[in-house]
Structure 1
Amino acid sequence: ILLEYANKTKLTIKIPAPSWDEAHKWGDFYLAEGLMREFIKENYGVQLQVLPEWDGNTDSNSDIVIVLRGLSEYNPKMHHHNIMWNISHPDLISLEEYSKYDKVFIASQKWADEISRKVDVPVECMWQCTDTSRFYPDYNEEYEHELLFVGNSRKVYRKILKDLLPTDHELAVYGSDWEELIDEKYIAGSFVSNKDLRKLYSSCNILLSDHWEDMREKGFVSNRIFDALACGSCVISDDIDGLEELFDGEVHTYKNKEDLKELVEQMLTQKTKSNQGLIKNHTYKDRVNQFINVFKK
């Protein structure tokens, strides 16, 4: 057994969650967990690290380090093959930071093209993805809503809700810190487990999705859209570069308030579900294969 472990390529995936106690509240944790599961199937030895562990020595025997770059910067150790997957907060990352890595993946075609022209490190797009073992159609009458929004406010009135409200339609908002921003009749809960998230996505008529300004400007498509499509949700999103092409125009985007209200009326009348085939090539397995192709070069 020891010999078998010694012969495996060893991999550390670093996530920016501040502690293991808090990790389950971070989407990055579920992404890392899903990647780890697929890497293990491919015979890699894998460990995950939360932020306080990044600079320690528990990764000393790792061959490869993958940093899920969101909120926190990592200083790569030179004895590793270091790969960044920039999944969010592109405004926080300097060209110098990108240049410290052996390979950079960016969850936006637009921004990958931009950065690749400015650094000497190889850069390519790696879109966000979904875990089809967690996200699949799972309708439940208790979770049925006409309109659904899932996301924390961070004390900011999110764009799609600002453009929608007030509405006569039944809207359920799940997430924290909404009390001072919207009418309490719309607030359905402050936290949703992954299991319940699947049921919510599967049971709503329309999922409303938007992007933080830096993500929208730079073409970073939210992982929520991938997860929702895997559940068969119909999605309305703010307009973002690359989204129409990525899902063959099946994710509906709007440009202004009137446009949004028209779309909502139209889609509630049609009551269609999205085609699950839209997430073909966007699973954890696909992303792990993309990583492995780089490892082999």
Structure 2
Amino acid sequence: KNSLRSEKMMVPSAGLLLCVAACCFLPLLTVSAGCRSKWKQLRGDITEYKLITVLKLPKITDCLMKSSAAEAHAASFDAESGDCALMQCDRGGRDACRKCRHEKDASLPMLWIKDPPKTCWKTFQHRVDGSVSFNRNWSEYVSGFGQGESLNYWMGLEQLHQLTATGVWRVRWEFSDWNDNWYWAENAPFSVGPATDKYRCSMGPLDAKRSSVGQLTTAAFSPNGKTFTTDGLCAEERSAGWWFGYCAFMNPNGIYRVPPEAYSTSFALSYILNGGVLSGSYSLKTFECLIYNE
């Protein structure tokens, strides 16, 4: 590398000096092409973050410097007002707020994200309301259906198999109740087998350090080792396709119900653990299943 004392080195431009100063002293993304970035503008869902504070600052560089000092995961800056909002992911780990579907959603704002992961969480199932029935036949569950990843959606078993056939994947179950409390659990590794084996699920144990709730460990209720089915007693009772054993500790594809029926119903859209909102009779408000290539 050239030394600054080299007699052959030309006097640097003001722009280059600004870039070097930013890279040396500020852990942030600048508009100068020569700087190594630690912050990147990406679309993000503000509802998945908790607000740390809002500061009045003159420049985006100041905003990102303050964000780094505050250990923020994301920031937004309004140049006109000088408002610098510092945020942290409110879904567990920082990467949990980086969903692939965000980048496809033009309605979401651009946020400054610190050290964004190289990959993002890919949605393969999502429930937000009752406008789409998940009581579907085998071929529909194989090919996929719905309104897109941000709404009511099922990716399709064949695509899910193709994705998880290579690499090392983990799965995330993220859901909310009717008081807008959020819960999540992660298992690793995770993969889905081929059509010849009826898209059998292979799922590792709960990653407790990355989960806000526990998980039933009874093998008969776990998706692990089960083939996917859209018929039989469990599928018929729950009006859904899933990796049923006897039957399952979750039913994300069940009938969507709203209060007051959602508070006490049979075969609910549920995550079963310890009663209350985590029981088979409480129908959850939202449910999303995601995978991440580690």
Tell me which interval the TM-score lies in, with the shorter structure as reference length. under 0.3
Relative to its length, the structure with more helix (as a share) is: 1
Provide TM-score, normalisation by structure 1: 0.26
Provide TM-score, normalisation by structure 2: 0.27
Relative to its length, the structure with more strand (as a share) is: 2
Larger Rg: 2
